[in-house]
Copies of this chain bind each other. A is one copy, B any other.
Amino acid sequence: MENKIINLGIFGFGVVGQGLYEVLNRTKGINARIKKICIKDPNKSRPIDSSYFTTDKNDILEDPAIDVVVELINDTEAAFEIVSTALRNGKAVVSASKRMIAENLPALYQLQAENKVPFLYEASSCASIPIIRNLEEYYDNDLLNAVEGICNGSTNYILTKIFEENLSFETALKQAQDLGFAETDPTLDIEGFDPKFKIVILLLHAFGTFVKPEEVFNFGIHHLNDFDIQFAKQRNCTIKLIAQCRRQNGHVFSYVLPHLIKEHNLLYDVYNEYNGILLESAFTDKQFFVGKGAGGTATGSAVLSDISALLYNYRYEYKKIKQNNQPSFTNDVQLKIYLRYKTQGQVDLAEFFHISEKYESAEWRYVVGTINLQKLREAGWLKNKDVNILVLE
């Protein structure tokens, strides 16, 4: 498509859509212009000219003059419908919808292959960090062992405020929402669903393995209390919500869990709404990427990078799928965790493989020990608000 002007049809004009509009307007040298923006509510007041807007999706999907469909809406089902129709209609698609993508990766992979059109989604994982592109392009010859990191800006903002400014969980959450870092439904962030969608996407590009989001265990920071925070501080650690996928004995496992992080760990210094991704590989040891994980222009800029890549006929090659030596997914690994609870009987310590520390006081108890990830995933007792876990390094 080089040297021609790309016509964009955009779905959604929220934080990211408006960020994209701003970024596009201030960028010289990108031959792309917005032809139509499809929105739900025609009566909402908009910061740009009304001639841009339509409520009829076919004004974009059926317009042969539109080359690229940019999907930036919150409704997962509607997003999948839009993206798959666009791909079938031979249009290139750029999307930022992590949940929709994570839940439909096999179908979307098929659709882009069958219809021979590019489908790019850099903004879906860690916003401004070009992690998918780097996994695709740069680590295909490297023996990757692990991808782990902080993939959720709002929980990282909350944890930063708790550890650096001694704010309460509630005050920090409120601040994050006021600043627009938290998603529409905060439980997606706080319970670790949002980073799970991202790690499922990254796992495919890192290892070539398709995994359903429901196979990956996620537990967030919603049970965190002052006792846990003191436990971390006494050990000169901070707490970060970590999403990871890691190769082990020919398999790959993955989870989203709060971790104790020591000061020398590169992830320790990822603050506020920033995200950080640590890659471990056989030849290059550790590689680390840091960038803003939330915010309109940061995400809009990632979307525009995908649009710009389309001008150079870029598409994901999914080389690791094609190499046909993907590790299979497993939850059968041992994790060393801290488990905090209030009264005996709230947890089942018999499920531990090994317990190395036990503590009890009138208020709280904890154990440190090794437990199988699959057992943790099935543990009903984790639903109890009195119970929390932290993974130890």
Contact = CB atoms under 8 A, between A and B. Distances in A.
A266 B140 CA distance: 28
A351 interface: no
Nearest to A308: B141
Interface string A118-159: 000000000011100110011111110000000000000000
Nearest to A313: B313
A359 interface: no
Given A30-B141, A143-B26, A308-B141, A284 B288 contact: no
Interface string A310-341: 00101001010001010000000000000000
A290 to B, nearest CB: 4
A-side interface mostly: mixed
Interface string A270-302: 000010000001111111111110000110111
Nearest to A298: B284
A249 interface: no
Contact of A288 (B130, B283, B290, B325): B290
Contact of A290 (B133, B287, B307, B309): B287
Given A138-B133, A140-B308, A141-B304, A325 B283 contact: no
A312 B301 contact: no
A141 B27 contact: yes
B312 A317 contact: yes
Most chain B C-beta atoms within 10 Å of own C-beta, residue among A28, A138, A140, A285: A138
B128 A284 contact: yes
A281 B274 CA distance: 15
Nearest to A290: B288
Contacts of A141: 23, 27, 29-30, 301, 304-305, 307-308
Most chain B C-beta atoms within 10 Å of own C-beta, residue among A291, A312, A319: A291
B308 A283 contact: no
Contacts of A290: 266, 286-290
A113 to B, nearest CB: 15
Given A141-B23, A141-B301, A285 B289 contact: no
Given A138-B305, A141-B27, A129 B325 contact: no
A262 B137 CA distance: 34
Contacts of A300: 283
Contacts of A297: 282-284
A283 B365 CA distance: 46
Interface in A11-30: 19, 23, 26-30
Interface of A: 19, 23, 26-30, 128-130, 133-134, 137-143, 266, 269, 274, 281-292, 297-298, 300-302, 304-305, 307-309, 312, 314, 317, 319, 323, 325
The 4 closest A-B pairs by CB, nearest first: A288-B290, A128-B284, A283-B301, A29-B323
